Amino acid sequence: MELIAIIQDIEPLRFRNEYSQASPVKGDVLLAYRGQEALVCLKDGAIDFPRFSGEPQPGAAYTYLFEISGVHYYLFENPSGTDTDGCVFQNVRAFRGAEPRHQAFAGITGWQLFSWYRNNRYCGACGRNMNRDGKERMLSCACGHTVFPKISPAVIVAVTDGDRLLMTRYAGRDYKRYALVAGFTEIGETIEQTVRREVLEEVGLHVKNIRYYKSQPWSFSDTLLVGFFAEADGSTDIVLDTTELSEAVWVHRSEIDTVLDGISLTNEMIMRFKENRVSDFGSEPV
Ligand SMILES: [Zn+2]
């Protein structure tokens, strides 16, 4: 088993997000959103989306988003009924684990772009209306202020000590399963410095042999997750930051009860350690 698929792994289909000012043609996919909800059409348990009828709806707006293997996806703003019969708004969280995978990925990626447009209607510098640029995914104001899509880098760190993996549970969240040390990159630091800082802050450990593993776009929180493996350096005594974590424990490889979810990078990294396949991804220490 070479790869464990996660939400953005849609091969053999191909995601292409080159910017274009194209207009929809009959049959193109329409992504419509309302707050935290997406307009989804369920067919035999598989998710699908409304399609463009060939005639624009009065008052609706269509913004090209991306392509998946020749199929074009448009942001569909101000939809009004008829073309969307049989489809319902549901929380975007439902895209976690939904099938087919490429439609789930399209749905959540479209929602990130929808949220970005919605949250940047006015200029943060002077308060005027923002204008959509014609050449790239950018918003600009007459005052000169420009805004690009928001992507916040964050690290996931699998801290290891021989056959033990440091596993955590987060305080004050619904998510109760074990996770790994994680945190956002702060202004002024490299991503490797984020790894060292977050591990020290959350569990009081120093790390060495930090190795990049893989990254994952995580549209639910405008995040680009960057996964690293690292080894505990010196003491392995955990000093827990209780404002962030409710628990952090060393778990022996043989006692990890996590099962593959096919969605998150955290899950894939835990599974890779559990199956003793950390050394075979071929990345150099940084
Ligand atoms: Zn402005």
> pLDDT by residue (tens digit) across 33-66?
999 999 999 888 899 999 999 999 999 999 999 9
**How many angstroms does the Cα of residue 136 sit away from the middle of ligand 1?**
18
- Predicted local confidence at residue 4, as pLDDT: 45
**How many angstroms does the Cα of residue 133 sit away from the middle of ligand 1?**
14
**How many angstroms does the Cα of residue 64 sit away from the middle of ligand 1?**
25
**Bigger pLDDT: 189 or 283?**
189
**Bigger pLDDT: 172 or 154?**
154
Per-residue pLDDT tens digits for 124-133: 999 999 999 9
**How many angstroms does the Cα of residue 149 sit away from the middle of ligand 1?**
17
**How many angstroms does the Cα of residue 146 sit away from the middle of ligand 1?**
8
Average per-residue pLDDT in the chain?
A: 91
pLDDT band at residue 231 using 50, 70 and 90 as cut-offs: very high
Nearest 10 degrees: Cα torsion 113, 172, 4, 236: 130
- Predicted local confidence at residue 84, as pLDDT: 67
Neighbours of ion ligand 1 (CB under 5 A): 123, 125-126, 141, 143, 145
**What amino acid occupies position 105?**
F
- Predicted local confidence at residue 1, as pLDDT: 30
Tokens of 151: 């992507």
**pTM to 2 decimal places:** 0.88
Per-residue pLDDT for 103 more than 50?
Answer: yes
Tokens of 122: 């006015």
Beta strand residue intervals within 14-151, DSSP E: 15-16, 29-31, 33-34, 37-43, 46-48, 61-68, 71-77, 88-91, 131-132, 139-140, 146-147
Per-residue pLDDT tens digits for 164-212: 999 998 877 666 688 999 999 999 999 999 999 999 999 999 999 999 9
- Predicted local confidence at residue 204, as pLDDT: 96
- Predicted local confidence at residue 7, as pLDDT: 75
In three-state secondary structure terms, 241 is coil
- Nearest to 182, CA basis, from 226, 220, 213: 226
